[in-house]
Structure 1
Amino acid sequence: MPVEAKLTEQQIYERIWKSIAERRLPPGTRLKEERLCEIFGASRPRIRRALDQLAHDGLVCHIPNRGAFVSTPSVDEARDVFFTRRVVERGVIEALKENVDSKTLAALNTHIEQERQALRDGDTSQTIRLSGAFHMLLAELAASPLLADILRDLVSKSTLVTAVFQPKCDTQCGPDEHASIVAALSRGDFDAAKSAMNTHLLEAERTLHLETSGDGQPFQTDVLGAALTEET
């Protein structure tokens, strides 16, 4: 049975993204168009547009004559993602120099409180989303569309990397670390903010089990159906 009738490609994208982020669609899973059409009650063109968007974000790869699969980053790719994030996000802090004011700080602190609430609620999906969204919010507040576009791609890839290399019990980013970055910004100490960001991303990378290739969970017979038809 389809999850819901007349979903847009953006809604389909979000459902698949969420299942990847929550480790319910393991890397290497084949995303069969026919099965996705059944699950979502959507046409092939709509499914393909959603898959193309996921491929653009690096979460899905298209293999000629085989179809679409959830991407599986290598150890080198995982390290490269976090190295690049450290470079880019220091640039985001630099770009924020002209844009930090009471409204900016209020928006960041409100977001951090939402992160804390998601942790208290034990809402894994919301915690993952808000963790990445904090970094995107910094880029948006820096008023640099190019940096925001670059970071969006990197945050998406980080989500996939953690799905492969991070134990389910670990948290990729913590609100306390985000709060230390905002505290430095509130003091106007941008060097300290850059240092806090660098330390934060190094710690996130440190929690990855880069000597492994995943958590070893067995594939289910119908992993798409099991992952995408769960209540959200």
Structure 2
Amino acid sequence: MGTDKTSVNNQLDAAYQRVWGAIVSHKLLPGTRLKEDDLCDTFDISRGNVRKLLQQLAHHHLVTLIPNSGAFVARPSREEALEVFKTRRLVELEMVRELARKCSAQDRQMLEKHVHREHEAHSSGDKSLRIRLSGEFHLLIGALAERPVLYQFLHEIISRASLIVALYQRSHSANGRSAGDRACSEHHDLIDAIAAHRVEQAVAVMEQHLQELENQLDLDPPLEQHVDLRKVFA
């Protein structure tokens, strides 16, 4: 019985990652409808498990569930995107300030190990993994800062922000550098300032980093309503 439950959970995790990957690669654009029957056939899972999958995607703000209409890839508005990044700044600047005051050698090692994984994902061209790891880097700063209430807020915000970045981030910043190159470089700068306990510098680097992420967003992308999910996940 336990093995069957584990197998189902593994199937749902795999399906979740494939949907996330399709969103990041823009195979599924904002507003695309996700039909239950197509998802059943595509992932070879029951309708009940498809609904669990959609609930999980909705919980992480990747999908919007509309009663009597269905499930659609989330379509964050310009206003929502700007509000998310405004809230990120309020929470993350406080978190980085706290960590910069007390960062240990072990904390630095954990941050550097994580950024190394980001570099590997970027070098391999795995955009989906790179965006996920970038969000997790910010969560790691929050965890190491040991501010549990703020961390709960941050976890919610990062989930929304990662979707916004996946949907709307331009591939290159204004100076021609790739978004992945710039993010990894700025994360290294953050680690250096945090580990040296240069509190105000760390806060300034984080603020500039978040502003650059926001500047990379193109909030007027094309929208797709109808796609063949079997072809998307073939």
Common fold by TM > 0.5: yes
Over the matched positions of the two proteins, sequence identity in percent amounts to 37
Structure-to-structure mapping, 1:36-51, within 5 angstroms: 36-51=39-54
More divergent stretch after superposition (25-34 vs 149-158): 149-158
Cα distance in 1, alignment partners of residues 27 and 217 from structure 2: 18
In the TM superposition, residue 38 of structure 1 has moved relative to its aligned partner by 0.8
Q: Are 1:58 and 1:153, in contact at CA under 8 Å, matched by a contact in 2? A: no
Q: Give the structure-1-normalised TM-score.
A: 0.85
Runs of 5+ in structure 1 lacking a partner? none
Cα distance in 2, alignment partners of residues 112 and 79 from structure 1: 26
Query: What's 2:12 paired with?
Result: 9
Cα distance in 1, alignment partners of residues 102 and 25 from structure 2: 34
Structure-to-structure mapping, 1:212-227, within 5 angstroms: 212=220, 214=221, 216=222, 221-222=227-228, 224-227=229-232
Query: What's 1:171 paired with?
Result: 179
> Residue 182 of structure 1: which of 191, 209, 212 is its match?
191
Runs of 5+ in structure 2 lacking a partner? 1-6, 173-177
Cα distance in 2, alignment partners of residues 130 and 27 from structure 1: 22
Q: Are 2:102 and 2:197, in contact at CA under 8 Å, matched by a contact in 1? A: no
State the aligned residue count. 221
Q: Are 1:25 and 1:70, in contact at CA under 8 Å, matched by a contact in 2? A: yes
In the TM superposition, residue 98 of structure 1 has moved relative to its aligned partner by 6.2
Cα distance in 1, alignment partners of residues 166 and 110 from structure 2: 28
Cα distance in 1, alignment partners of residues 101 and 230 from structure 2: 48
Q: Does 1:58 align with 2:67?
A: no
CA change 1:228–1:143 in 2 (3 A) is farther
Deviations 1:125-160 (A, max 9, x none): 222222112111111222334333322222221222
| RMSD, aligned CA | 2.2
Cα distance in 2, alignment partners of residues 11 and 74 from structure 1: 28
Structure-to-structure mapping, 1:89-104, within 5 angstroms: 89-97=92-100, 99-104=102-107
Cα distance in 1, alignment partners of residues 61 and 226 from structure 2: 24
Deviations 1:147-203 (A, max 9, x none): 333222222212222243323455266111011111111111122111111100001
Q: Give the structure-2-normalised TM-score.
A: 0.85
CA change 1:116–1:147 in 2 (3 A) is same
Give the number of the structure with larger relative contact order, counting CA–CA contacts within 8 Å between residues 6 or more apart.
2
Query: What's 1:74 paired with?
Result: 77
Cα distance in 1, alignment partners of residues 112 and 165 from structure 2: 25
